[in-house]
Amino acid sequence: SQQGEEDPQALSIQEGENATMNCSYKTSINNLQWYRQNSGRGLVHLILIRSNEREKHSGRLRVTLDTSKKSSSLLITASRAADTASYFCATVEYGNKLVFGAGTILRVKS
């Protein structure tokens, strides 16, 4: 099963610009998590937003959650070349499983 669907599939921006990625999901959730994956590596947790939260910040990251629309967005401000990676959203399903979307590939050009 694939709970989260990211949009866009790929995003190319210039260094210094902001990058916005969106995630939609199907069922009710406890929380939604965002992860980052550098090419050929494991995933790294970025931020978790609970279902009763609407916005959360961590450094240059800003995550919003709209449970009425079953959607979330990840904003990376003042992007850097080092932000080039794939970004995945994930939700927790019954059985303590995280279900990941297909991801957004972000390329930041310097």
| Contact footprint for another protein (CB under 8 A) | 1-2, 30-31, 33, 35, 40-45, 48, 50, 88, 90, 92, 95-103, 105
Q: Which is nearer to another protein, 20 or 100 (CB)?
A: 100
Calpha distance 17→77 (Å, rounded): 7
What 3-state class would DSSP assign to 27? Answer: coil
Q: Which tokens sit at 40? A: 């050929």
Q: Which is nearer to another protein, 15 or 53 (CB)?
A: 53
- Checking 59-65 for CB contacts under 8 A at 24+ apart, the result is 61/34, 63/32, 63/34, 65/32
What 3-state class would DSSP assign to 41? Answer: coil
* Least CB distance to another protein at residue 16 (A): 27
* Least CB distance to another protein at residue 26 (A): 15
Q: Which is nearer to another protein, 42 or 59 (CB)?
A: 42
* Least CB distance to another protein at residue 49 (A): 11
Q: Which is nearer to another protein, 15 or 93 (CB)?
A: 93
* Least CB distance to another protein at residue 36 (A): 11
CA–CA distance from 55 to each of 1, 5, 66 (Å)?
27, 19, 9
